[in-house]
Amino acid sequence: MKATRLFTNIGVAAGLAAMVLVGMLSSSMCAQAQETEATLSQMGLAISPVPLNMAGKDPTQVGLGSYLVNAIGDCNGCHTGGGPPNFNYAAGGNPYFGQIEKIDPTVYLSGGQDFGQVGTPTGPMMYAGPDIIARNLTPDKTGMPEGGHTLSQFLQIMTSGTDFDHLHPTCTAAQLAQIEAGTTPLPVCIPTSTGNTANGNLLQVMPWPTFSHMTQYDLEAIYAYLSSIPCIEGPSDTTSVLHNDCGSGGVTPPPATITIVVTGPGSSTSGTTFQTNASQVSLNASQSTSTNAGPLSYSWQPAPGFPSVAIPGGHTATPFIQLGRPGTYEVILTVTDSTGATATATITLQYL
């Protein structure tokens, strides 16, 4: 009887302990997930190459969207309006030329890359349909991205590939006959054939089948970010697929002034050059300010052309710079405010 009661009590205690452990693990995982999202959001705000209109928006959501667009999806790689030799990079900021990376904000996500034709060459002119052109993703005067698409439409684009612009429909039988007869002007449609049955109602080339596996939470973050970037009008021809009606002023936020203040090891005096006898240096940029309200985010990177350094806490205001052998080192600090405005400073460390 006593043994039975003892085992029963042990079982109850074990069950309670398991429940407490599960609760602790769930709370820990939840806290870790929130911390991870906050970190990714800060990184996203730091790497946005354009100022952001944050009015009425959640900075954490916008920052996460920027991280997905700029660090993961490389959306600007296809949707840039830039051409050779720098494409989506600004002159003097092409990392493939050994330069410090700088995205060209004047063509950022404004579309225009030509991916050629996807149809079956047909008729005496071997016409294969219109060229597939990357769209202008910037918001129009309504503040909605990709020229004014709603969130519902955006989700349908990203998960189903729906082309709401109907720019390259599949050829009808009558249009195919016109193409085969060589009649001009040729119709704007995609000729299909056995084995090449491209559906003109769906976006071609764009990797929406891959994006369809993303969570709605992530897609909504992308939409929030694209709603925050400046409108780029594109060609003045209103019939162009790349034209965007920005209205009077678009969505560009007012300019901001960011003042970067950095203090070095054991010093309350700010500056850009510090001397040290230690291989690990603590820097502090928490006194930096912006004329815009809201938190600041920080990104510390080794400067090209100088010895490499490790930077634990490189996305905080107070990183540690781990140096190698004595010599001169440089790191670049980028400070981003809640609107996406940025400022940079180069910090020189002289390891004696």
pLDDT in tens, the chain (352 residues): 444 444 444 444 445 444 544 454 454 444 455 558 888 988 899 899 999 988 888 989 999 999 999 999 999 999 998 888 999 998 899 999 999 899 999 999 999 888 999 999 999 999 999 999 999 999 999 999 998 999 999 999 999 999 999 999 999 999 999 999 998 899 999 999 999 999 999 999 999 999 999 999 999 999 999 999 999 998 888 888 889 999 865 444 455 688 999 998 766 667 889 998 999 999 999 999 888 767 788 888 888 788 888 998 888 899 999 999 999 999 989 887 766 677 888 999 999 8
Q: Are residues 216 and 320 in the same domain?
A: no
- Write phi, then psi, for 121 (nearest 5 degrees): -55, 125
The answer to whether residue 242 is domain-embedded is no
Q: Which amino acid is at 242?
A: L
Residue 132 domain-assigned (yes or no): yes
Q: Among 226, 243, 267, where does a domain finish?
A: 226
- Identify whether 143 is part of a domain: yes
Which of 208, 226, 244 is the C-terminal boundary of a domain? 226
- Residue 71 lies inside a defined structural domain of this protein: yes
Domain region containing 92? 59-226
Domain assignment present for 17:
no
Give the Å distances, CA to CA, from 112 to 75, 136, 306.
Answer: 13, 7, 37
Are 170 and 295 in a shared domain? no
Same domain, 220 and 78: yes
pTM above 0.85, yes or no: no
Do residues 123 and 170 share a domain? yes
Please indicate, yes or no, whether residues 64 and 210 belong to a single structural domain of this protein.
Answer: yes
* Rounded CA separation 320/202 (Å): 50
Please indicate, yes or no, whether residues 214 and 70 belong to a single structural domain of this protein. Answer: yes
Strand partners, 322: 280, 310
Residue after which a domain boundary falls, among 226, 242, 268: 226
Is residue 274 domain-resident?
yes
Are 79 and 220 part of one and the same domain? yes
Q: Are residues 154 and 273 in the same domain?
A: no
In a domain, 6, yes or no: no
In a shared domain, residues 167 and 313 = no
On whether both 262 and 200 belong to a single domain, the answer is: no
Q: Please, how many CA atoms are within 13 Å of residue 348, restricted to the half-sphere of its CB?
A: 8
- Backbone phi, psi, residue 16, to 5°: -65, -40
Task: Say yes or no: 187 and 316 in one domain.
Answer: no
Domain count, the chain: 2
Residue 267 within any structural domain of the chain = yes
- Crossing angle (nearest 10°) for helices 216-226 and 59-66: 100
| In a shared domain, residues 209 and 66 | yes
Which CATH number do you get for residue 340? 2.60.40.10
